[in-house]
């Protein structure tokens, strides 16, 4: 049952990044059978992400459609979600849909102030590749993009703007 | 500590609820301030950024307040705490309730808070209360980005045009007297520190000043002298600025009790 449930949830798209599934993003942390219900542990990507409630509904609906009557959603905060949990397939799918996958992990999130730079995210992590033409010559337009998990970039070669999933 | 074990446990839990309200109210009030910029920011990218920062902070506030409500055990959830308390019941720092002012005022207020929150959340990530540690670890990752952005803007404004420099310096001078409260402990802080749940506010001051000092140097901004510092927000003594903010934030759920989307 549990293995089957993983397969079912593997087809549930993320509401805000519909090119990837919730399992691609590493949002589903655990599935287990308990006496009264099938328990699915989910973790939020960002604490204020409005997609969290939609994801819960989508998971419950998907399992109901496959005949699982009792579903219980469990919220799991720790360990905190990281973009390191995005699967290789998820990264490929993001790229195919014009969204640059995260470059590297930023560790535990302590930001070190470097006196010599004005701290563009680019300078911290190295070049972000354009998902359209593959050029590494890109510029950050804004630390924040269309959703909390993304920053806004522009490619200096093909001149296309693109979303970049920030290492988190 | 003395007294009956039950009374002692009740007191301990009251201190923890108070502590959680402080953390939640800081995030909530600053979120509401940031959200008020939506459709008013100087450029579209900043509109988006301020909205995203607000969203993160609302999310953090929800986690802190949910936990406060659970420990309080009086039937109040995060919404009840956010929308059905008056200003005297709010426990946020005075800094975060300061009005938005111009863009420089907002950036400097956010920067002072972000630099503090970055340190505070890392301290709380080591809390003996697992749930506090989990919320803090999650929030710290988000706040790292907020700090990244606000520090970047502080330097751009300070080291920018004559006008942007003057406005940034004016904001620093005006807001400085609200920074002292971040490092001022009281009985609740002492109780939470000795229980291993919280941190001593004074212990963050040196690291905060060091960071601010480097940023000020890069931004060509002058650090104000430490003069009289405002205090009282953590204990529920607020300026009228908070009342106006709450009036706008709370009007819908208070007018239409139980309203749903």
Name the burial class of residue B173, with classes exposed (0-12), middle (13-18) and buried (19+) by CB atoms within 10 angstroms of its CB: middle
Instruction: Say yes or no: A94 and A65 in one domain.
Output: no
Kindly state whether residue A64 falls inside one of the protein's structural domains.
yes
| Interface test with chain B among A111, A141, A146, A166, by most B beta carbons within 10 Å | A111
Nearest CA in chain A to B143: A109
Q: Which two tokens stand for residue B187?
A: 């009985």
Kindly state whether residue A67 falls inside one of the protein's structural domains.
yes
Kindly state whether residue A83 falls inside one of the protein's structural domains.
no
Q: Point out the domain boundary residue: A75, A108, A137.
A: A75
- Which residue's structure tokens are 């007191």? B11
Instruction: Say yes or no: A65 and A108 in one domain.
Output: no
Kindly state whether residue A100 falls inside one of the protein's structural domains.
yes
Instruction: Say yes or no: A41 and A69 in one domain.
Output: yes
Determine what percent of chain B is predicted with pLDDT higher than 90.
Answer: 90
Instruction: State the pLDDT confidence band at A156, using cuts at 50, 70 and 90.
Output: very high
Indicate if the pLDDT at residue B1 is higher than 80: no
Name the burial class of residue B245, with classes exposed (0-12), middle (13-18) and buried (19+) by CB atoms within 10 angstroms of its CB: buried
End-to-end alpha carbon distance in chain B: 47
* Higher pLDDT pick, A116 / B87: B87
Domains and CATH numbers, chain B: 9-223+232-255 (1.20.1260.10)
Q: Does A37 touch chain B (CB under 8 A)?
A: no
**Residue B3: its pLDDT value, please?**
60
- Nearest CA to A5 out of A79, A86, A67 is that of A67
| Mean pLDDT (whole number) for B153-170 | 97
Contacts of B48 in chain A (CB under 8 A): 142, 144-146, 152
Q: Point out the domain boundary residue: A15, A40, A75.
A: A75
Instruction: Say yes or no: A105 and A142 in one domain.
Output: yes
Domain that holds residue A144: 88-165
**Residue A33: its pLDDT value, please?**
96
Q: What's the structural domain count of chain A?
A: 2
Instruction: State the pLDDT confidence band at A147, using cuts at 50, 70 and 90.
Output: confident
Over residues B130-146, the pLDDT tens digits come to: 999 999 999 999 999 99
**Residue A117: its pLDDT value, please?**
36
Instruction: Say yes or no: A69 and A96 in one domain.
Output: no
Instruction: Indicate the angle between helix axes B130-158 and B44-72, nearest 10 degrees.
Output: 160
**Shortest Cα–Cα distance, B183 to chain A (Å):** 20
Instruction: Say yes or no: A97 and A135 in one domain.
Output: yes
Determine what percent of chain A is predicted with pLDDT higher than 90.
Answer: 65
Q: Point out the domain boundary residue: A53, A75, A97.
A: A75
Instruction: Say yes or no: A52 and A29 in one domain.
Output: yes
| CATH number of the domain enclosing A67 | 3.30.300.130
Kindly state whether residue A62 falls inside one of the protein's structural domains.
yes
Contact (CB, 8 A) for B14 and B191:
no
Indicate if the pLDDT at residue A116 is higher than 50: no
Instruction: Say yes or no: A119 and A55 in one domain.
Output: no
DSSP chain A: -HHHHHHHHTTPBPSSSTTSBTTTTT-EEEEEE-SS-EEEEE--SSTT-THHHHHHHHHHHHHHHTT---EEEEE--SSPP-GGGS-HHHHHHHHHTTEEPP-S--TTSPPPPPTTS---HHHHH-PPPPTTT--S-EEEEES--SSTTEEEEEETTT--EEEEE---
Instruction: State the pLDDT confidence band at B226, using cuts at 50, 70 and 90.
Output: confident
**Residue B83: its pLDDT value, please?**
97
Instruction: Say yes or no: A58 and A93 in one domain.
Output: no
* Higher pLDDT pick, A26 / B12: A26
Over residues A64-103, the pLDDT tens digits come to: 999 999 999 999 999 999 999 999 999 999 999 999 998 7
Over residues B24-54, the pLDDT tens digits come to: 999 999 999 999 999 999 888 899 999 999 9
Name the burial class of residue A115, with classes exposed (0-12), middle (13-18) and buried (19+) by CB atoms within 10 angstroms of its CB: exposed
Kindly state whether residue A16 falls inside one of the protein's structural domains.
yes
For A29, phi then psi, to 5°, come to -95, -30
Report the residue from A77, A119, A168 with minimal CB separation from B134: A77
Least confident of A107-121, A139-153, B90-104: A107-121
Kindly state whether residue A68 falls inside one of the protein's structural domains.
yes
Instruction: Say yes or no: A54 and A104 in one domain.
Output: no
Compute the radius of gyration of chain A from its Cα atoms: 18
Instruction: Say yes or no: A61 and A130 in one domain.
Output: no
Beta bridge partners of A100: A164
Indicate if the pLDDT at residue B71 is higher than 80: yes
Q: What's the pTM value of the predicted model, to 2 decimals?
A: 0.91
DSSP B87-152: GGG----HHHHS---SHHHHHHHHHHHHHHHHHHHHHHTT-SSHHHHHHHHHHHHHHHHHHHHHHH
Instruction: Say yes or no: A161 and A93 in one domain.
Output: yes
Over residues B83-95, the pLDDT tens digits come to: 999 999 999 999 9
User: Mean pLDDT for chain B?
Assistant: 95
Q: Under an 8 A CB cutoff, do A47 and B147 touch?
A: no
Report the residue from A47, A81, A109 with minimal CB separation from B60: A47
Q: Under an 8 A CB cutoff, do A49 and B53 touch?
A: no
Kindly state whether residue A56 falls inside one of the protein's structural domains.
yes
């Amino acid at each position: 049952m549990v293995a089957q449930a993983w397969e079912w949830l593997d087809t549930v798209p993320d509401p805000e990044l519909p090119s990837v599934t919730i399992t691609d993003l590493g949002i589903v942390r655990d599935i287990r059978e308990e006496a009264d219900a099938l328990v699915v542990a989910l973790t939020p990507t960002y604490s204020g992400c409005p997609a969290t409630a939609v994801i819960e509904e989508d998971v419950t609906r998907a399992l109901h459609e496959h005949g699982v009557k009792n579903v219980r959603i469990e919220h799991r905060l720790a360990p905190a979600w990281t973009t390191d949990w995005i699967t290789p397939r998820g990264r490929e799918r993001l790229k195919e849909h014009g969204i640059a996958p995260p470059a590297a992990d930023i560790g535990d999130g302590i930001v070190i102030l470097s006196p010599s730079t004005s701290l563009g995210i680019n300078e911290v992590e190295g070049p972000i590749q354009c998902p359209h033409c593959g050029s590494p010559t890109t510029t950050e337009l804004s630390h924040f993009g269309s959703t909390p998990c993304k920053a806004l970039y522009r490619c200096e070669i093909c001149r296309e703007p693109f979303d970049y999933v920030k290492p988190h | 500590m003395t007294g009956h074990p039950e009374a002692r446990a009740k007191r301990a839990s009251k201190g923890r609820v108070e502590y959680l309200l402080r953390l939640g109210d800081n995030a909530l009030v600053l979120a509401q301030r940031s959200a008020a910029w939506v459709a008013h920011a100087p450029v579209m990218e900043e509109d988006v950024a301020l909205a995203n920062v607000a969203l993160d902070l609302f999310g953090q506030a929800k986690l802190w307040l949910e936990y406060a409500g659970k420990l309080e055990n009086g039937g109040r959830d995060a919404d009840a705490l956010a929308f059905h308390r008056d200003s005297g019941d709010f426990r946020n720092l005075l800094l975060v309730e300061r009005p938005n002012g111009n863009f420089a005022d907002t950036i400097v207020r956010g920067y002072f808070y972000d630099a503090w929150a970055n340190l505070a959340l890392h301290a709380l990530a080591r809390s003996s209360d697992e749930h506090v540690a989990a919320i803090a670890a999650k929030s710290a990752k988000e706040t790292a980005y907020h700090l990244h952005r606000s520090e970047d803007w502080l330097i751009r404004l300070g080291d920018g045009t004559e006008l942007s420099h003057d406005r940034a310096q004016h904001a620093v001078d005006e807001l400085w007297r609200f920074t002292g409260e971040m490092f001022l402990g009281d009985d609740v802080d002492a109780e939470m520190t000795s229980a291993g749940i919280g941190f001593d506010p004074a212990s963050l001051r040196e690291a905060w000043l060091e960071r601010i000092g480097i940023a000020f140097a890069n931004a060509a901004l002058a650090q104000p002298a430490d003069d009289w510092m405002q205090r009282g927000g953590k204990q529920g003594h607020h300026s009228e600025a908070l009342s106006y903010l709450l009036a706008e934030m709370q009007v819908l759920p208070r007018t239409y009790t139980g309203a749903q989307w």
